[in-house]
Amino acid sequence: MKADFVIIGSGSAGSAMANRLSEDPRNRVIVLEFGGSDAGPFIQMPAALSYPMNMGLYDWGYQTEPEPNLGGRRLVAPRGKVLGGSSSINGMVYVRGHAEDYNFWEEDGAQGWGYADVLPYFQRMETSRGGQEGWRGASGPLHVRRGVADNPLFGSFIEAGRQAGFETTPDYNGEKQEGFGLMEQTIHAGRRWSAANAYLKPALKRPNVELIKCFARRIIFRDGRAVGVEIERGGKIESVAADREVIVAASAFNSPKLLMLSGVGPADQLRDQGIEVVRHRPGVGANLQDHLELYVQQECLEPITLYSKLNLVSKALIGAQWLFFKTGLGASNHFEASAFVRSRAGVKYPDIQFHFLPVAIRYDGTSPARAHGFQAHVGPMRSKSRGNVTLRSPDPREAPVIRFNYMSHPSDWEDFRYCIRLTREIFDQEAFDAYRGPELAPGRDITSDEGLDAFIRDHAESAFHPCGTCRMGRADDPRSVVDPECRVIGVDGLRVADSSIFPQITNGNLNGPSIMVGEKASDHILGRPMLPRSNLEPWINPRWQASDR
């Protein structure tokens, strides 16, 4: 078992790299994936999104350590254990991130990753339907669309934002992210358009690409160079040799775990675990970030929500229509309206995200309200809190220790209180007058800072956007794990390319930026010239210093 490039993980970035690296038939590529097939309606039917991330068949089943600022709760931390990785179990929401996110990356040491540099890669990877011409891709593997937004509540949400004085946007992935508008989905022809469907399955048709179902135990080094991967399959320990490079794309949890198991990480921690230190990199596992969110739920006076579709008969009919025709309610994730807004004057670009849903229900599909309702998922996007991923033991089969330290910065509480109060302001607009019933959560009687803090402590949930644990930056920065070409600093023949390399979390959902990382990393790995920088200028609110809207 030998190839030029051995990729650990078939997720968003891994699948993209498998495809791009194998376009040249001279390059032999092996992809290592522990999870199984992505076939079947639980993954491929968009409306079934709450199922796969709660199934041990498809999810690694990780949990956080007790979070002290969330009442000691242990939050679920799903990551895909299946072909396509987390792109096969996510909510299929497509967000590029804001231009200023990438400009910050570059300022913080990730040279060549500014917005002008990454925009051409987003354009290369997309086939956008309904996006802004000139800003979007038209011939890439990743199909992106808008939902039909037939439910009048979607329009009411966007109009309510306008009535409250906020911007609207025709395409938050185009020139102007800020504002209320339609949400984009990685759905194509009625199916989840995962990285596996977009990139990996076409690549596997090539004779120079092989997929090995196995458990990656550690990276094998010889004289400071990564030369292969030790794997386990069928109860046997084997090795896969890499003639050119090993590329880790195993998630913000498993990528740092693999590096540490292989001797790359904080030397004192590795020695405590009895692991021989190959290279001291204190940043491995540090800088863990995520988005937290809350559901603000409102009862709906008109019977127009998805509540009437939650019974078994309706679900069976929706499933049958999707199975035979790939149409109907089963062909959407039902996140079809959204907003990106700024929390206050002086904030240059959006720092709050809304997902709007025409039903009052938890993300995992449990505990639906016993009435027609609608809800906004809302949360701040640039928390100052940081966590870490560490080894539980030197046993590769042990889950890593995941500590987010959610809400550990005082500004997090202020930001979340504002999110709740702002959502109430949106729902109080005239556009919702015909639909607005009592507030289901938190409940209008909860108005004080103390009351809202208690609600946040008990009900804030992860948006499942972990990143940052193998931070990209300057090679002379001790915080950095990889340099701007995704090479692990201090060793040869090893790269990391997935959401773990983000210096700072991007605005919105992370699947799109993770695929972009795989696209751009491929050109670095192959030594190709980077795509020409874009000269497009993104929209920044001219009133940003004076107003939040």
Phi and psi torsions of 63, nearest 5°? -130, 155
Greatest Cα-to-Cα distance within the chain, rounded to the nearest angstrom: 70
* 50 annotated ligand-binding residue: no
DSSP conformational letter for 137: -
* 184 annotated ligand-binding residue: no
What does the buried/exposed string (b/e) look like for 270-282 if buried means 16 or more CB atoms within 10 Å of the residue's CB?
beeeebeebbebe
Phi and psi torsions of 128, nearest 5°? -95, 135
* 23 annotated ligand-binding residue: yes
CA neighbours closer than 13 Å in the CB half-sphere of residue 447: 3
* 9 annotated ligand-binding residue: yes
Decide: residue 79, CB within 10 A, 0-12 exposed, 13-18 middle, 19+ buried: buried
* Token pair for 107: 């300022």
* 85 annotated ligand-binding residue: no
Peptide bond preceding 303: is omega within 30 degrees of 0, i.e. cis?
A: no
DSSP conformational letter for 75: P
DSSP conformational letter for 213: E
* 5 annotated ligand-binding residue: yes
* 515 annotated ligand-binding residue: no
Question: 3-state SS of 320-388?
Answer: HHHHHHCCCHHHCCCCCEEEEECCCCCCCCCCEEEEEECCCCCCCCCCCCCCCEEEEEEEECCCCCCEE
Beta-bridge mates of residue 378: 294, 354
Catalytic residue among 143, 355, 377, 465: 465
* 18 annotated ligand-binding residue: yes
377 an active-site residue? no
* Token pair for 478: 């001790």
* 82 annotated ligand-binding residue: yes
The secondary element (H helix, E strand) that includes residue 144 is strand 142-146
* 456 annotated ligand-binding residue: no
* 401 annotated ligand-binding residue: no
* Token pair for 400: 């890593």
Decide: residue 234, CB within 10 A, 0-12 exposed, 13-18 middle, 19+ buried: exposed
Q: Which residues have C-beta within 8 Å of that of residue 205, sequence separation ≥ 6?
A: none
Measure Cα distances from 266 to 227, 374, 401, 479 in Å: 22, 46, 15, 11
* 4 annotated ligand-binding residue: yes
* 90 annotated ligand-binding residue: yes
The secondary element (H helix, E strand) that includes residue 315 is helix 312-325
Decide: residue 193, CB within 10 A, 0-12 exposed, 13-18 middle, 19+ buried: buried
CB 339 within 8 A of CB 178: no
* 83 annotated ligand-binding residue: no
* 10 annotated ligand-binding residue: yes
* 15 annotated ligand-binding residue: yes
Phi and psi torsions of 73, nearest 5°? -70, 145
Q: How far is it, in rounded angstroms, from Cα 276 to Cα 69?
A: 35
DSSP conformational letter for 249: -
Q: How far is it, in rounded angstroms, from Cα 440 to Cα 512?
A: 33
The binding site for FAD comprises 4-33, 82, 90-93
The binding site comprises 4-33, 82, 90-93
Residues designated as active site: 465
